[in-house]
Amino acid sequence: MTSPDTGGDREKVVTKLTSTLRQDLKVRAALHGLDMQDAVEAGITAWRGLGSNPAAVDTAGAETYSTFLPVGLWEGFRDDCKDRGVSLTQGIAQAVSIWLEANPVPEVKRPAMVRRIVVCNQKGGVGKTAITAGLGEALAEDPAALVPVRVSKHFAALLEEDDRPEDPLALEDLPGLGQRVLLVDFDPQGHLTRQLGHELLPMGGDSLTNHMAGDSKGELSDLVVTVDEDRFGDRLHLLPACTDAFLLDVRIASVRAREAALERALRSVEADYDVVLIDCPPSLGISMDAALYFGRRRDNEDTGNSGALIVVQAEDSSADAYGLLTSQIEDMRSDLALDMDYLGLVVNHYDARRGYIATSSLQAWMDIKDPRVVGVVGDLKEQKEAVRAKRPLLAYAPRCEQSIAIRALAREISK
């Protein structure tokens, strides 16, 4: 069945396709940057060029499916199906299957050098842990699946409550980033570890602190656990915290080149990952120096590949804490001659309904151009619910506004 397309030289075609083939077609076409109709056209053209029928495809449960094809293509395809003795439903299923086989999932683009992202702010309660976890999840999502993303151009709309983007048309379905990610719980409070459903490492056993202090009891890789959710595959891992991290500053104070202690400890595992994310404690001590040193720009590393991601809130006390942290970063830049990049500011827990303080503070953050705001994440209930359920936010509520905003953040800092 066909009907003319008044918008161009295509006609509307109504046929049947199984839900599985339809979903695979939608995802694969998006992965290759194509419209579904173009993929169907290419599949039909390839099918018509075959010398014999391909293997039959299971079409049980096929449902009505419509698309637009060049005028005359469907008529010729229908005649070919009749000549070959196959139904239109079987023919279109074979054509789509041929296109899928010829266009596999593209390989994930991996960084030339492992990215090291230090999520920090010496002020507690700004949501560093939630941003660390969410960012790691967004980076690790299935590259063969589509996820909803809202891009950064919508940040400005968050300044006014009435202009907040609620229209689903503002969303874009994009493939997951498919990165191999290590989350490092560098905070002795262990919130990241608990939020992802794991236990803190026991006192008296091995820990990241021991490795940094030169007193390891085994391989660091033996401490790493998998965040077990289907949408992340085996790409999202966690190095849990241990409460012995409260003693970290004391234990590494006398260690040789103490600023490099974290880098030395993680050296044995970082090559297994595309991205290493450090969830820092609310501190400006020696451990923070070690985290910042780990995130410095290394020799031959591109600017912006690694660095500090600073989490703030739209209120006044965050500005004070921001000033203290950036002073520490600038001191390290100067004292140790480091190339230290700012990856940006994330304004977390934002809610325009809190009035002038929130909106004016957000505007003040946006007025800072270096580092610039790379993400605005709302203060919504899903994150609290995910913490209570001890599940990753992007697995617990993958389509909520917070998940969508965090995916935008992941892409913004991956440009």
For residue 346, the domain's CATH number is 3.40.50.300
User: pLDDT grade, residue 219 (50/70/90)?
Assistant: very high
Can you give the pLDDT at residue 109? 85
Can you give the pLDDT at residue 138? 97
If asked whether residues 84 and 143 sit together in one domain, one would say no
If asked whether residues 8 and 91 sit together in one domain, one would say yes
128 token code pair = 């560093």
- Tens of pLDDT, residue by residue over 302-323, are 999 999 999 998 887 777 788 8
Can you give the pLDDT at residue 314? 84
Could you tell me which residue, 280 or 157, shows the higher pLDDT?
A: 280
Q: Give mean pLDDT, residues 172-183.
A: 92
If asked whether residues 96 and 243 sit together in one domain, one would say no
| Domain around 85 | 2-102
If asked whether residues 297 and 183 sit together in one domain, one would say yes
| Among 3, 1, 161, residue whose Cα is nearest residue 92 | 1
End-of-domain residue from the set 74, 102, 130? 102
User: pLDDT grade, residue 169 (50/70/90)?
Assistant: very low
User: pLDDT grade, residue 170 (50/70/90)?
Assistant: low
Residue 340 has pLDDT above 50, yes or no: yes
If asked whether residues 328 and 285 sit together in one domain, one would say yes
**Angle at alpha carbon of residue 339, lines to 338 and 343, rounded to 5°:** 130
CA distance 394 to 406: 9
- The answer to the question of residue 319 being in a domain is yes
If asked whether residues 137 and 92 sit together in one domain, one would say no
- The answer to the question of residue 148 being in a domain is yes
CA distance 113 to 273: 10
If asked whether residues 62 and 210 sit together in one domain, one would say no
User: pLDDT grade, residue 159 (50/70/90)?
Assistant: very low
Determine contact, residues 357/365, Cβ cutoff 8 Å: no
1 token code pair = 């069945």
Query: In the chain, pLDDT over 70 holds for what percent of residues?
Result: 93
Residue 161 has pLDDT above 50, yes or no: no
Q: How many domains does the chain have?
A: 2
If asked whether residues 271 and 389 sit together in one domain, one would say yes
User: pLDDT grade, residue 3 (50/70/90)?
Assistant: low
CA distance 384 to 55: 50
